[in-house]
Amino acid sequence: MQINNLTLIIGGDAGQGVESSGAGFCKALSRAGLHVTSIQDHRSRIRGGHNFYLIKTSDKPITSWSEPVHLLVALTAESIEIHRDKMVPGSAVIFDSETTINTTELEKLSINPVSVPLNQIAKDVGGSSVMANTAALGAVAGLTQFPLKTIHNVIEENFRKKGANVVESNRQVSQAAYDYVRQNYTFSYQWQLNPIDAPERMVMNGNDGIALGALCAGCNFISAYPMTPATSIFLWLTARAEEFAIVSKQTEDEISAINMGIGAAHAGARVIVPTSGGGFSLMVEALGMAGIMEIPIVIALVQRTGPSTGFATRTEQSDLLFAIHASQGEFPRIVIAPGTIEQCFEETGRAFNLADKYQLPVIIISDATLASSSRTLEKSAINLSANPIDRGKLLTDEQLYHLSGEYKRYAFAESGISDRALPGHPKAIFATTSDEHDELGHITEDAQNRIRMQSKRMQKLDTALTDMKPPLRYGPEKADITFVCWGATLAPVLEAMNRLNQNNKNTANTLQFIDLWPLPVTKVQPYLEQAGKLIAVEANYTGQLAMLIRMCTGVAVAGKITKFDGRPISPEYILSNLKEVR
């Protein structure tokens, strides 16, 4: 009997509580001492259209989500049609008794049909069919023998604000569905979920990590126009704005968002502006203004499928080269790509320090998969003091009072970094403009000044190379195959690597690129020289990281595994496509 090792999908239409049910069950599993990872898939429709929430749980740490499904909660008949092919023999489907299902076909595939009157229980016991998703969780607990008390604790926490009656109704609904399954289904379901003693863990997703990282970095200004899948960064910080003295501005569009952010950063605030590809496109002119004005600002670019609106709620990694090159004219920026929730936290704090140190825009590039994928983390995984605040060459009031001579905001420096003063100090009066300017900030079209000033700004990229990190290597130092990846593809790549190495420890290793621009070529080259056959794994059509590596180092990958249908890459997808590129 397989215990505490289960992959579950909750599938249904938008508006049926798929996301809330999935998130609640993840929380319950974590509180039962189990490890959890999850991914979401939802359409952009407000109501209607198939959504699903995949949860993988185990009593051992989990590297990645995976596709073989052991239990499907089908809130619609369509859910069964979509996910049936991924179900393993002995698995089960929980569905509403009112739904017309061909159970004979399921039984032929050795899938156990579990018909439960979810809607009827919700109406009869809870007074509303809206609680059918709560009944479904009760049915899951009944089938897997998961203690209902843990789910009841989560119900109380989630519905407390709606009143005791709502809490009690949901409890009774889940209990009734639990009892129905225990009384009516006696077959031996293999995948049981038993609580274990374990330290209390957190459940976080990538956007949580970015928002918490910004908070710990001293972020005190956020401006945004809500845009999936970056919106939850804005919501997370806005919900805590009063408690932590954060100015939160929801603007009329993305142009206003970045311009407000630039203004606040110019005045000394630590600023983050979250957006996605379409919003970032609108920000490009202002991004250049931040570059020429040497304003430190952090932009969280959470990618979705393009071009244009594309798949508004789905994932892709197709904005990398755009983020690096977006501009009219040339100006320095730093682009970093976290690949785990922990890295989302750590790299966001680092991004704020890099922005201040080099006085330029820093782009944290993420994607919809990483943004919304939840995982259990040990409390020690998030070090709240990992990135002590570093404001760079920001002059103090005392330094300004002792300043001799006229303050030059854009003074030429070998490093490219001038001493920075915040506006308003009597000893630091200076002009700021989006036009080319001299050391004092005054507009000038002098050719020699242009050469010196542009060279000064671009020098920051060379100076910043000292802070840029080489790729992280996972697995053995020497291997036949070296996967190359960035962002959310890291998790499935590591799972695929581990499976390949189960029988032969030197089959595969992985290089994860976090610091993408400026690419630290001298630090990267030794890793490429030691690598096996390079295979890039990316969620885009062209293999943009592979193109960047070749552009900067001259090294071409031997093969690419790409996926651009808006759905997350899985370990199974990598392994099945590896045969074609080996």
What's the confidence (pLDDT) of residue 49?
Answer: 81
Q: What is the mean pLDDT of residues 183-205?
A: 91
Least confident piece of the model among 78-82, 185-189, 229-233? 185-189
Tell me the CA end-to-end span of the chain in Å, nearest whole number: 37
What is the bridge-based pairing of β-strands 271-275 and 297-303? Answer: parallel
Specify which residues 302 forms β-bridges with: 366
Q: What is the pLDDT of residues 65-124, one digit of tens each?
A: 988 999 999 999 999 999 999 999 999 999 999 988 888 999 999 999 999 999 999 999
Q: What is the pLDDT of residues 390-436, one digit of tens each?
A: 999 999 999 999 998 899 999 999 999 999 999 999 999 999 999 99
What's the confidence (pLDDT) of residue 188?
Answer: 85
Match 């300017």 to its residue by tokens: 437
The pLDDT of residue 1 is above 60: no
**3-state SS, one letter per residue, for 291-334:** HHHCCCEEEEEEECECCCCCECCCCCCCCHHHHHHCCCCCCCCE
The pLDDT of residue 324 is above 60: yes
Q: What DSSP string describes 399-427? A: HHHT--S---TT---TTS---B--TT-TT
- Starting at the edge strand found earlier in the chain, the sheet holding 508-512 runs 472-474, 508-512, 481-485, 533-538, 559-562
What's the confidence (pLDDT) of residue 42?
Answer: 83
Q: Which residues contact 536 (CB under 8 A, 6 or more apart)?
A: 483, 484, 485, 543, 545, 546, 557, 559, 560, 561, 562
Tokens describing residue 539: 């969620």
CA 116/CA 95 separation, integer angstroms: 6
Q: What is the mean pLDDT of residues 34-45?
A: 89
Q: Cis (ω within 30 of 0) for the bond into 229? A: yes
Q: What is the mean pLDDT of residues 478-484?
A: 96
Torsion of CA 419, 422, 428, 431, to 10 degrees: 90
What's the confidence (pLDDT) of residue 580?
Answer: 84
Q: What is the pLDDT of residues 528-570, one digit of tens each?
A: 999 999 999 999 999 999 999 999 999 999 999 999 999 999 9
* Type of residue numbered 524: V
Chain-centre distance of CA 265, in angstroms? 25
- Starting at the edge strand found earlier in the chain, the sheet holding 374-378 runs 112-116, 87-96, 69-74, 5-13, 50-58, 35-41, 374-378, 201-205
Mean pLDDT (the chain, rounded): 95
- Residue 47's pLDDT band (boundaries 50, 70, 90)? low
Q: Residue 483 in contact with residue 457, Cβ under 8 Å? A: no
* Type of residue numbered 557: V
Tokens describing residue 206: 């990538």
Question: What percent of the chain is helix, strand and coil (3-state, nearest 5)?
Answer: 40, 20, 35
Q: What is the pLDDT of residues 292-312, one digit of tens each?
A: 999 999 999 999 999 999 999
CA 369/CA 406 separation, integer angstroms: 51
Give just the sign of the alpha carbon dihedral 21, 23, 24, 29. Answer: positive
What is the bridge-based pairing of β-strands 35-41 and 50-58? Answer: antiparallel
| DSSP 8-class letter at 563 | -
- Residue 2's pLDDT band (boundaries 50, 70, 90)? low
Chain-centre distance of CA 459, in angstroms? 31
Q: What is the pLDDT of residues 138-183, one digit of tens each?
A: 999 999 999 999 999 999 998 898 999 999 999 999 999 999 999 9
Q: What is the mean pLDDT of residues 481-501?
A: 97
What's the confidence (pLDDT) of residue 380?
Answer: 92
**Domains of the chain with bracketed CATH:** 5-198 (3.40.920.10), 206-381 (3.40.50.970), 393-467 (no CATH), 472-581 (3.40.50.920)
The pLDDT of residue 503 is above 80: no
Chain-centre distance of CA 71, in angstroms? 26
What is the bridge-based pairing of β-strands 112-116 and 221-224? Answer: unpaired
Torsion of CA 334, 338, 342, 346, to 10 degrees: 0
* Type of residue numbered 74: A
Long-range CB pairs of 18-21 (<8 Å, 24+ gap) are 18/42, 18/51, 18/52, 18/53, 18/75, 18/133, 19/51, 19/53, 20/133, 20/158, 21/53, 21/73, 21/133, 21/134, 21/136, 21/137
What's the confidence (pLDDT) of residue 405?
Answer: 87
The pLDDT of residue 579 is above 60: yes
The pLDDT of residue 582 is above 80: no
The pLDDT of residue 192 is above 90: yes
